[in-house]
C-alpha cells in the first residue's frame, strides 16, 4: 500500500512463458540485478516520489520457461527495508507462436487439474478507476478538480479501522458480536446496472459509493468470477490478485463479456493455475476455483495505487463441517492489528 514515504512493496513481474513447443526440455540459468531506488513520477499533473526497480514501477519482468532457475540480486538503495513481491503472470504462446489467447497450462499426471465445472457461485465484477467530488473549497487536483478513486461493482472499498478477520472471528465465537458493524456482507454479484463497459462509457458510474462490503462464499462452493475491465476514467490492464487461493484462468477476451458467446471460448481442460491475472485492457477474464480454504481473503488490483483507492473487496469463505474445514483460532499472544 502507498504510504507517505512511497511504496512499501516493490513489485516485479514473473512471466512464465509456456513455450513448450519452442524450447521443450532445456532448463536455463538466468541472472538478474535489481536496484531499488526512489524516483520522481509525474501523473495527472502531480509529481510523487516512488520506490522503483531499475527505474520502473512495476519492476521489470523476469522471463523464464518452466524448469528454469533465476538468480535475482537485489540492491536496496532506498531509505527503508522493503519486501519484494513477485507477481506470476502467464504469457502463453500457441505452437505456431502467434499471443491467440491460448490459455493453456502444462497439465500432466504430475500436475493434474481440477477445474470446477458445475458452478454454484458466480460473481460478475466490473472494475473501474473513478472519481470522487471534492468540496468546492478544497479542489483535489484530479480531473474536473475531483480526486481519483477506484471500485469493484461501483463500490470503492473502504478500509475498516478494525480488521475484518478479527471481526469475523469474533462473530464466529460469539464474542464481540458488535464487531459485525465493521463490514457489510452486501457485496453484489453484479454491477448496479449493465452498460457498454468498454465502449463510450460517458459518465456511467463515474462516482462510486464507498463501503466495506465483503462477499460471503459457502465452503466448497464452485466459484466463478468474471472480471470486466471498463473505460471509466482510463482503461488499464489491472493485475487482479486473490489471497488464500490459486485459481484457474479459464478464459479472457477483448471487449465486453458476452454470457452467450464468451463461455464457449473457455479452456476447462488444462487452464493455467495462478494467483494473479491481468485483465486485458478493455477486456475481461474469468477465473474458477473451489472454495476449500476457509477464511478472510483480500482480493484486489495489484497496482498498489488502485488497491489503496478502493479497487478491492474481501471474500469470506465460511467454515465447512469438519475440523479440517474450519479456520484456526489466532495463535496465543498474537498482537492485535487494531483494538476492538
Ligand atoms: Cu488496477
- Distance (angstroms) between ligand 1 centre and the Cα of 203 equals 19
Pick out the chain residues at pLDDT < 70.
Answer: 1-25, 43-44, 83, 85-98, 100-107, 110, 176-180, 203-205, 336-340
Q: Which three cell numbers stand for residue 133?
A: 467530488
Between strands 46-53 and 155-157, the pairing is unpaired
Between strands 276-279 and 238-242, the pairing is antiparallel
Cβ neighbours for 171, distance < 8 A, ≥ 6 positions apart:
177, 179, 180
Report pLDDT for 94.
35
Residue 168 is given by DSSP the state H
Between the CA of residue 232 and those of 171, 203, 266, 312, what are the distances in Å?
A: 37, 8, 26, 16
Between the CA of residue 121 and those of 12, 220, 324, what are the distances in Å?
A: 32, 10, 22
pTM assigned to the model = 0.76
- Distance (angstroms) between ligand 1 centre and the Cα of 206 equals 16
- Distance (angstroms) between ligand 1 centre and the Cα of 239 equals 6
Q: Which three cell numbers stand for residue 274?
A: 495462478
In tens, the pLDDT along 187-217 reads 999 999 888 999 887 766 678 999 999 999 9
- Distance (angstroms) between ligand 1 centre and the Cα of 23 equals 33
Residue 190 is given by DSSP the state S
- Distance (angstroms) between ligand 1 centre and the Cα of 330 equals 32
Ion ligand 1, residue ranges at CB < 5 A: 238, 301, 303, 306
Tell me the sheet residues that pair with 286.
226, 251
Report pLDDT for 300.
97
Report pLDDT for 228.
97
Kindly state the percentage of the chain with pLDDT values over 70.
Answer: 81
Residue 141 is given by DSSP the state S
Amino acid at each position: 500500500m502507498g504510504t507517505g514515504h512511497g511504496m512499501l512493496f516493490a513489485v516485479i513481474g514473473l512471466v512464465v512463458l509456456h513455450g513448450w513447443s519452442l524450447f521443450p526440455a532445456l532448463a536455463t540459468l538466468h541472472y538478474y540485478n535489481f536496484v531499488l531506488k526512489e524516483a520522481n513520477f509525474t501523473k495527472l499533473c502531480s509529481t510523487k516520489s516512488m520506490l522503483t526497480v531499475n527505474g520502473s514501477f512495476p519492476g521489470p519482468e523476469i522471463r523464464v520457461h518452466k524448469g528454469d532457475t533465476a538468480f535475482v540480486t537485489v540492491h536496496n538503495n532506498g531509505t527503508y527495508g522493503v519486501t519484494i513481491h513477485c507477481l506470476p503472470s502467464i504469457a502463453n504462446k500457441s505452437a505456431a507462436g502467434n499471443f491467440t489467447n491460448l490459455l493453456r497450462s502444462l497439465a500432466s499426471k504430475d500436475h493434474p487439474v481440477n477445474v470446477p465445472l458445475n458452478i454454484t457461485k458466480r460473481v460478475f465484477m466490473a472494475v473501474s478507476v473513478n472519481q470522487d467530488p471534492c468540496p468546492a473549497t478544497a479542489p483535489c487536483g484530479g480531473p474536473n478538480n475531483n480526486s481519483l478513486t477506484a471500485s469493484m461493482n461501483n463500490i470503492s472499498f473502504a478500509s475498516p479501522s478494525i480488521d475484518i478477520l478479527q471481526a469475523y472471528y469474533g462473530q464466529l465465537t460469539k464474542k464481540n458480536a458488535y464487531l459485525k458493524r465493521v463490514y457489510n456482507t452486501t457485496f453484489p454479484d453484479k454491477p448496479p446496472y449493465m452498460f457498454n463497459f468498454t465502449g463510450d462509457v460517458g459518465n456511467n458510474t463515474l462516482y462510486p459509493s464507498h463501503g466495506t462490503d465483503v462477499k460471503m462464499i459457502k465452503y466448497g462452493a464452485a466459484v466463478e468470477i468474471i472480471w470486466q475491465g471498463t473505460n471509466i476514467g482510463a482503461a488499464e490492464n489491472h493485475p487482479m490478485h486473490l489471497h488464500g487461493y490459486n485459481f484457474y484462468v479459464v478464459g479472457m477476451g477483448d471487449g465486453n463479456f458476452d454470457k452467450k458467446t464468451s463461455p464457449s471460448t473457455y479452456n476447462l481442460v488444462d487452464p493455467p493455475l495462478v494467483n494473479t491475472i491481468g485483465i486485458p485492457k478493455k477486456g475481461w477474464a474469468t477465473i474458477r476455483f473451489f472454495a476449500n480454504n476457509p477464511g478472510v481473503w483480500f482480493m484486489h488490483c495489484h497496482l498498489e495505487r488502485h488497491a489503496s483507492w478502493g479497487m478491492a473487496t474481501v471474500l469470506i469463505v465460511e467454515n465447512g463441517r469438519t475440523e479440517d474445514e474450519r479456520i484456526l483460532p489466532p495463535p496465543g499472544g498474537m498482537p492485535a492489528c487494531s483494538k476492538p
